Amino acid sequence: MSELRRMIEGGGVYIVDGAMGTLLYERGFFVNVCYDELSLTQPELVKGIHREYVEAGADILETNTFGANPVKLSGFGLEERTGEINRVAARLAKEAASDRARVVGAIGPLGIRIEPWGPTSREAARGYFGRQVAGLLEGGVDGFILETFSDLSELQQALDAIRSASDLPVFAQVTIEEGGHTSHGTEVEVVARTLDGWNVDVIGLNCSVGPAEILDALERMAQVTRRPLIAQPNAGLPHPVGDRKIYLASAGYMARYACRMVEAGARFVGGCCGTTPEHTRAIRLAISEMNEPRTGLASFRNPVADSVSSIEGTPPHAEVTSAPLASRSDFGAKLATGEFVTTLDLLPPQGWNPEALLTDARRVSEAGVDAVTVVETGTGLRRMGALPAGILLSRDTDVEVIVQYACRDRSMHRMISDLLGAAAAGIRNVLVMSGDLTRTGPYPDPTAVFDIDAIGLTNVLHHLNHGADPGGQAVDPPTRFVVGVALNQEAEDLERERSRYRWKIQAGADFAITRPVFDPLALTSFLEKVGEPRIPVLVGLWPLSSLRDAEFLHQEVPGVRVPPEVLERMAEAEKQGPAAARAEGVRIIMEVLDALLPVVQGVHITSTRGGMELGLEVAAEATRRKKEVHHVG
């Protein structure tokens, strides 16, 4: 039996080291530096910090590899050196430890979302972790520590990568927010049960919060698992001081809480951000002075965990069946029964006065259009957001509302909060968009947040409709969203777009809206190659009012292609005047619709350039033509 395995299976309490990044920062390496690469470029510095922790009394050292996976290293152009960085880091820690401490290979999250919340597959994530694991094994680690994970699915991929290459012990820690849940909403009891079910050797918590919050959560975990527990809190919460963030929890304070954590069930205690060898030394001394028989530092038996009769590796919440599509909204009912539907775009108002929007929506409803789609433009500093505009329409009119909701510049937490509020306010139909980069002002490379994309958000909404948040916690009652997604039949990379469309369907999309179509063959070919399963598709129609309009779409709107013959027809019609050009534009898109009626279940009309009257004219003509087809049939 290895020494680390003996430590885990015995009754002792052991000290894990503290932060590496805090000390590297203090010694002049700022956050724009790849700390993992310092094992190659500053090996004596890294080894020296490890030695300081050993001298302070650490029984376990973590390698300087928290971010040494190929995804994070790619940001520094170092992905090809993944194996080397991990191998060297492990050897440095082993040399510093000598025979006085054991070394665990530190593995943190990839820094990207994996399925179902992001585009990276579980298999790909496992492969990324596998490259890191291989390097750490070559360096001779005694075990592994998975730390600061929020997504249990991602942690599972890291665990699987380890298990497929080694039978060494594994410590697994998640990071929590105030209240004792991960950022995905997973409660610590669920974390403990799940990790126990995966046969993780040591289970625990690290980072993000201070010792008081960690202690509360650790006590809850001890109620549901017999596994040894580990706790590595931050030295309190960071305080901004100038351009720096300083952790103010003293070594004595951390040591007192370390003793309380041992009393609560922890077998391994240490520190995370803001902790130093001084904190480690104080924790060592405090634990040594605890009045308990010594095995290692202290013998330990958790009477609460010993009383646990069974462990379940699944969350307590059982996913419920979502409401049938036909019962979620009037629009959903029409989709479910195969009724041909018409929708029309409306822009939110500029400023905060909604009267013009409300007036337009009432006109659209009186004209027989089935729903209005409130567009999220992403530009215009004085324009109201689509979601509040949609809530106003839902509250003050009888019109059926579809809210366009973009992932751009929103975290997953904010999206969930927004959409739960929307559900409470009566919004039932959502058109999910990833969102485009906006370019405003003189800066060509604006920053944007893309936490999860349209596929990830569709998965989130699917879970909410089934009564669960991304962390598996109950949402009671479940939401009742009808979820729409975008389809770009003219994408530059059609194979990728088809794959993404299939994933959107698998994620739970209820309907799709295409980009404006001027070439029917492009859409029919796209759908044929996608195959089954199919969802209702609304064809995007953009009535052309002029040659200038057609040229704008073709030249300046991504994902829209206007064929040369259409441009020629608009040029010829314009020679006869604006009215002729407008009439020709309507004829063109009606021909598009005629060709697509066998494969679509409705139309989505963009009238933001041509005006409300043109949009209503197209909607009326589309409905008439569909009725004629049904009558003939």
Report pLDDT for 618. Answer: 86
> Distances from the Cα of 236 to the Cαs of 29, 102, 105, 125, in angstroms?
22, 27, 25, 32
Please name which of 24, 204, 203, 36 lies closest in space to residue 105, comparing C-alpha atoms: 36
0.85 exceeded by pTM: no
In this structure, the strands spanning 244-247 and 238-241 are: antiparallel
Question: Helices in 10-81 by DSSP H: which ranges?
Answer: 21-26, 38-41, 43-56, 70-74
Indicate the CATH number of 325-434+446-628 among 1.10.357.10, 2.60.40.420, 2.40.160.60, 3.20.20.220.
Answer: 3.20.20.220
Residue 376: partners with Cβ closer than 8 Å, 6 or more residues away? 348, 385, 386, 387, 403, 404, 405, 406, 433, 435
Specify whether the backbone of 448 is left (phi greater than 0), alpha (psi in -120 to 50) or beta: beta
Enter the tokens of residue 626.
Answer: 């569909």
Can you tell me which residue has the tokens 């509250």?
395
| CA–CA distance, 149 with 336 (Å, rounded to integer) | 40
Contact criterion met (CB below 8 Å) for 260 and 229: no
Strands 602-605 and 170-174: unpaired
Tokens 């929307």 sit at which residue?
Answer: 422
Q: How far is CA 134 from CA 34, 35, 78, 107, 560, in A?
A: 20, 20, 16, 12, 46
Distance between CA atoms of residues 193 and 390, nearest Å? 41
Directed axis angle between helix 578-596 and helix 612-632, to 10°?
A: 40
Sequence letter at residue 579: A
Q: What is the pLDDT of residue 184?
A: 83
| Torsion angles phi and psi, residue 574, rounded to 5 | -65, -25
DSSP secondary structure code for residue 42 in this structure = S
pLDDT along the chain (633 residues), means of 10: 92 94 84 90 96 96 97 95 97 95 97 86 96 98 96 96 97 91 89 96 92 93 95 78 61 91 95 93 89 44 37 46 92 95 91 91 90 79 86 93 90 90 95 68 46 88 92 89 95 90 93 95 94 93 89 82 92 92 91 93 81 84 73 41
Instruction: Please give the single-letter amino acid code of residue 444.
Output: P
Contact 337, 324 (CB under 8 A): no
CA-wise closest residue to 547 among 567, 526, 565 = 567
Tokens of 98: 């000598």
What CATH number does domain 3-306 carry, 3.90.420.10, 3.40.50.150, 3.50.50.60, 3.20.20.330? Answer: 3.20.20.330
Strand partners, 171: 145, 202
Residue-level length of the chain: 633
Spatial distance between the Cα atoms of 223 and 316, rounded to a whole number of angstroms: 14
CA distance 290 to 306: 22
Question: CA 224, CA 542: separation in Å to the nearest integer?
Answer: 58
HSE, side-chain direction, 13 A CA sphere, residue 435? 24
What are the structural domain ranges in the chain?
Answer: 3-306, 325-434+446-628
Sheet containing 202-206: which strands, arranged edge to edge? 14-15, 266-269, 229-232, 202-206, 170-174, 143-149, 102-107, 60-62
Q: Do the domains 3-306 and 325-434+446-628 sit in the same CATH topology, yes or no?
A: yes
Identify whether the C-beta of residue 38 lies closer than 8 Å to the C-beta of residue 85: no
